[in-house]
């Protein structure tokens, strides 16, 4: 298939492009390089042994999006591009509604105009907000608690409404839990910009000695060791789900959402212990105040993806961290500074 991938040089986008190229798809990537670098294209091509096309575009520009989709005429769109930090979305909501919602509306409108009737959308478990029923299934209410979460939920609504109005359209929203890890080749992974927001990138930088210690945000949660529990899932498993999902969206019509997680919850202290095992580094940490907005426990029920996509994520936390660590160690300080 001819697949247009937005956010193609970003963390999950780049791993998905590798999977698509390895399965023989023709990939046209688009990115504005606001959170990635164009040289990721070379890494993707090196791992997959296949060429891809890469276009620079800010998806908030409606005419540019329309021209791109009109000229590429893809069979399917996989839409990753967007901002993803909860805290940043609270302080700069307009950026999130612009980059995440306006951009998605532009894409949806251009897909409708040019007859692109298969869309896979990069959503997040953040759409559930404070999950009250665990594990979190797709039947949980959609109650996002941040502008970031609302930007994902709004985009799902736009796509769902479009699917209701346009009989031929097939939309699959994939709701990721906590993607970590890197491609096992050791040259493709996430390069955080500045101080990492997420747990594992921070842990890795402490392991490398670039930061003195990790702050653990609270140990008084109602969990066995008092630290928050999350469902960490390997980025390559997430990427594979998108490649499989292309077959699924060819077969059915309408809007559907699926969780992508392992179903296994891990505490922050469990992650630190696993990272110490993998890296053989001390990884000092200090317990600090809770981070506002953190839920105590979030982990997925991913039966729907298992049933419809025949997809399951490997819950081996050590393997995820080992792949992440291999990539971290390959990163030159120039590359880190350039990001
Ligand atoms: N944590 C720390 N110290 C840190 C960073 C994180 O203790 O320096 C803890 C957090 O408090 C949380 C856990 O590690 O308990 C995981 O935190 P992350 O920031 O890695 O991930 P979140 O679960 O907060 O957020 C992730 C994605 C978001 C998404 C959200 C949905 O990063 O994009 O899941 O729940 F919105």
pLDDT in tens, 163-209: 999 999 999 999 999 999 999 999 999 988 888 989 999 999 999 99
Task: Report the separation in Å between the CA atom of 292 and the middle of ligand 1, taken as the mean of its atom positions.
Answer: 11
253 SS3 class = coil
What is the structure's pLDDT at 87? 85
pLDDT band for 131, please (50, 70, 90 cuts). Answer: confident
Q: What is the mean pLDDT of residues 245-257?
A: 95
**Separation of CA 42 from chain center:** 21
With the most atoms of ligand 1 within 8 angstroms of its CB, the residue from 177, 275, 290, 294 to mutate is 294
Per residue in 272-293, pLDDT tens? 999 999 999 999 999 999 988 7
How high is the pLDDT of residue 35? Answer: 92
- State pLDDT tens for residues 67-88: 999 999 999 999 999 999 888 9
The residues that bridge with 256 in the sheet, in sequence order, are: 172
CA 239–ligand 1 middle distance (angstroms): 20
pLDDT grade, residue 52 (50/70/90)? very high
Question: What atom in ligand 1 is closest to the CA of residue 152?
Answer: 36
| Residue 115 burial (CB count, 10 A) | 11
Nearest CA to ligand 1 atom 19: 198
Catalytic residues: 148
In CATH, the number for domain 2-180+233-261 is 3.40.50.720
As a whole number, the mean pLDDT across the chain is 95
Q: What is the pLDDT of residue 339?
A: 46
- Which residues lie below 8 Å from residue 316, measured CB to CB, with a gap of 6+? none
Q: Which atom of ligand 1 is closest in space to residue 293's alpha carbon?
A: 24
Spacing, Cα 294 to ligand 1 middle (Å):
7
Pick from 217, 238, 289 the residue to mutate for probing ligand 1's pocket: most ligand atoms within 8 Å of its CB.
217
* pLDDT more than 90, % of the chain: 91
Task: Transcribe 15-63 into DSSP letters.
Answer: HHHHHHHHTT-EEEEEE--SSS-TTHHHHHHHHHSS--EEEE--TT-HH
| Residues 230 and 178 sit within 8 Å (Cβ to Cβ) | yes
User: Are residues 54 and 8 in contact, defined by beta-carbon separation less than 8 angstroms?
Assistant: yes
3-state class (DSSP) for residue 82: coil
> With bands split at pLDDT 50, 70 and 90, how would you rate the model's confidence at 336?
low
What tokens does 176 get?
């990721």
CB atoms within 10 A of CB 128: 25
Q: Which of 134, 136, 176, 199 has most ligand 1 atoms within 8 Å of its beta carbon, as the pocket-test mutant?
A: 199
Residues with CB under 6 A from ligand 1: 84, 86, 124-126, 148, 178, 197-199, 202, 214-217, 228, 230, 268, 291, 294, 298
Element (H, E) at 234: strand 232-234
pLDDT at 237 over 60: yes
Cβ density class 209-241: b for 16+ within 10 Å, e for less:
eebeebebbbbebebeebbbbbbbbbbbbbbbb
Q: Distance between the two ends of the chain, CA-based, in angstroms? A: 32
- Six-digit token pair at 281? 């580094």
Measured in Å, residue 291 CA sits from the centre of ligand 1 at 9
Q: Confirm if 34 and 9 have CB atoms less than 8 A apart.
A: no
Predicted local distance difference test score (pLDDT) of residue 332 = 66
Residue 205 alpha carbon to ligand 1 centre in Å: 16
| CA–CA distance, 84 with 124 (Å, rounded to integer) | 9
Q: Which residues pair with 182 in a beta bridge?
A: none
**pLDDT on residue 227:** 98
- DSSP assignment, residue 300? B
């Amino acid at each position: 298939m001819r697949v247009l991938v937005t956010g193609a040089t970003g963390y999950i986008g780049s791993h998905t492009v590798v999977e698509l190229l390895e399965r023989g798809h023709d990939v046209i990537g688009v990115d504005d390089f606001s959170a990635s670098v164009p040289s990721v294209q070379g890494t993707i091509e090196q791992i997959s042994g296949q060429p891809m096309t890469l276009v620079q575009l800010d998806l908030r520009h409606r005419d540019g999006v329309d021209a791109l989709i009109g000229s590429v005429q893809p069979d399917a769109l996989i839409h990753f591009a967007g901002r993803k930090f909860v805290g940043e979305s609270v302080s700069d909501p307009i950026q999130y509604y612009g980059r995440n919602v306006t951009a998605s509306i532009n894409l949806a409108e251009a897909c409708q105009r040019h007859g692109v009737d298969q869309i896979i959308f990069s959503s997040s478990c953040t759409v559930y907000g404070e999950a009250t029923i665990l594990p979190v299934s797709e039947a949980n209410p959609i109650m996002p608690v941040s502008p970031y979460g609302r930007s994902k939920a709004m985009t799902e609504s736009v796509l769902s409404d479009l699917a209701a109005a346009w009989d031929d359209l097939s939309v699959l929203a994939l709701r990721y839990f906590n993607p970590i890890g890197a491609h096992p080749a050791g040259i493709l992974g996430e390069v955080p910009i500045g101080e990492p927001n997420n747990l594992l990138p921070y842990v890795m930088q402490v392991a490398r000695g670039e930061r003195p210690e990790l702050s653990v945000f609270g140990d008084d949660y109602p969990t066995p060791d008092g630290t928050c529990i999350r469902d960490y899932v390997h980025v390559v498993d997430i990427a594979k789900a998108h490649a499989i999902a292309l077959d699924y969206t060819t077969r059915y019509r309408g809007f559907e959402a699926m969780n992508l997680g392992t179903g296994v919850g891990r505490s922050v202290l469990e992650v630190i212990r696993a990272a110490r095992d993998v890296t053989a580094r001390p990884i000092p940490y200090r317990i600090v105040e809770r981070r506002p907005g953190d839920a105590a426990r979030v982990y997925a029920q991913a039966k729907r993806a298992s049933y419809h996509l025949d997809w399951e994520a490997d819950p081996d936390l050590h393997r995820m961290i080992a792949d992440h660590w291999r990539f971290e160690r390959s990163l030159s300080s120039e590359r880190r500074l350039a990001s």
